[in-house]
Amino acid sequence: MLTLILLALFCLVFPAFLIWLTGKYAFFRKLGTIVLAYAVGIIIANVGIMPRSSDAFREATIGHDRSYIPKSEAVEMVAAGTLSQSDLQYNGIAAVQDSMQTALVLLAIPLILFSLNVRRWLRFSGKGFLSMLLALISVMVIVATGYLIFRDKVEGSDRIGGMLIGLYTGGSVNLASIALALKVEPNAFIMTNTYDMIVGAVVILFFISAGPAFFRLFLPPFKAPSSLTAKEADLKAVSEQMAEDFDDYTGIFKKETVLPLLGAMGIAIVILAMGLGVSFLFPKVPMTISVILAITTLGVAASFIKRIRDIRKTFQLGMYFIIAFSIVIATRCDLSVIFQAKYLNLLLFVTYAYFGSLLLHLLLSWIFRISVDDYLITTTGFVYSPPFVPMVAAALKNKDVILTGLATGMIGWILGNYIGVAFGMWLGKL
């Protein structure tokens, strides 16, 4: 019991240290809190301080589409000699981990969505909106074809395909929620995200270095509007400030910030309760799927209420929970399983989805005469999420596209859950 309590407290408190670390040191800031969270969790899982599961336990869980065994059943299996006492201890930890990662994601989603201003972004997205649609089409086409190529080579490729849809329309936030909804096996989740980080690091470096010059060989240059209305100019200034604030946790513990945030937490809990209630109206739909889609819808609806939308740091609090989720799920990562040859095909699937969607989006952008700046910024907003938008805008030397990138990323956060879950379910029926 003490081990479970210490593990839970560590996963909930340690993200604060990671946020401080990335804020103070440039090296860790470049790595990012999510990468550091995975690294810490994987170390905890593999240095011997936590019990390991046996092959029999993995067969009883993964083979039966569950992450842990009900306690009474596990005790019976130990008595029968099917499982060991170590498996029983591991099972208790797995049950706590499963509950924690579920709760963290379900609270994070509405908190992140509260800060959106959908009408504001749509009003100023311009031709970037067309680029966003082309990016969405590209991701869906490539993931679907990738599934047909790898479905016999990658275990759970239908669910991984759904995850990739979410990952390439909203980043880590959608990846976590879709993995929860589709019950993706923890090792597959970690490896998918790890491979994405490796490939994505190469691509983003290209985007901010030689990318703009390279893509100008194929796409027309960006044409800035000749003049902006006072409202548009104000909107542009707000977007630039917001882009700088995504990773800013300064003042989150001040009284004037904490009290409204507690109110936002209360609203998120009410939304979660409503989502659970909605799930009972659709008994034939798996509960996690109906709950996640319900709280996504309710979170977006709440963002239209100005008093909720104006609560400071709700996005940061939601991301804090995502960092904690990353630690929890990484503590379930068994490196002895990960380095099996079967994950090589998963790497190929991820690489195909990444570069295939980029190239198809490039081809469609060339056909529809999308500017190079709109192509790069909408790709960044979708694949990397809004916090990366200012970096690419700086490489383009074009602040005018920041709002388009933010709009794309935020709409991706909304659409990604719906499309990713639907895709994961649809692919499984092909």
236 vs 67, higher pLDDT = 67
pLDDT (mean) for 95-116: 86
pLDDT per position as a tens digit, 125-145 = 566 788 889 999 999 999 999
195 vs 266, higher pLDDT = 266
340 vs 278, higher pLDDT = 278
Torsion of CA 155, 157, 158, 159, to 10 degrees: 80
Q: Of the ranges 46-50, 216-220, 247-251, which one carries the lowest mean pLDDT score?
A: 247-251
Nearest one of 176, 120, 169, 111 to 140, comparing CA atoms: 169
Q: First CA to last CA across the chain, in angstroms?
A: 44
195 vs 227, higher pLDDT = 195
Statement: residue 418 has pLDDT above 60: yes
For 286-320, the three-class secondary structure string (H helix, E strand, C coil) is CHHHHHHHHHHHHHHHHHCCHHHHCCCCHHHHHHH
Highest averaged pLDDT of the listed ranges 133-137, 234-238, 250-254: 133-137
Highest averaged pLDDT of the listed ranges 252-256, 289-293, 386-390: 289-293
Q: Percentage of the chain with pLDDT > 70?
A: 89
pLDDT (mean) for 4-22: 88
Buried b or exposed e, range 268-283, using 16+ CB within 10 angstroms: beebbeebeebbeeee
> Which residues are CB-contacts of 429 (< 8 A; sequence separation ≥ 6)?
none
pLDDT value, residue 1: 65
pLDDT value, residue 413: 81
Residue extents of the structural domains in the chain: 2-105, 117-221+233-322+336-427
pLDDT value, residue 239: 53
Name the pLDDT band for 31 (thresholds 50, 70, 90): confident
Mean pLDDT computed over every residue of the chain: 83
Nearest one of 62, 97, 329, 288 to 190, comparing CA atoms: 329
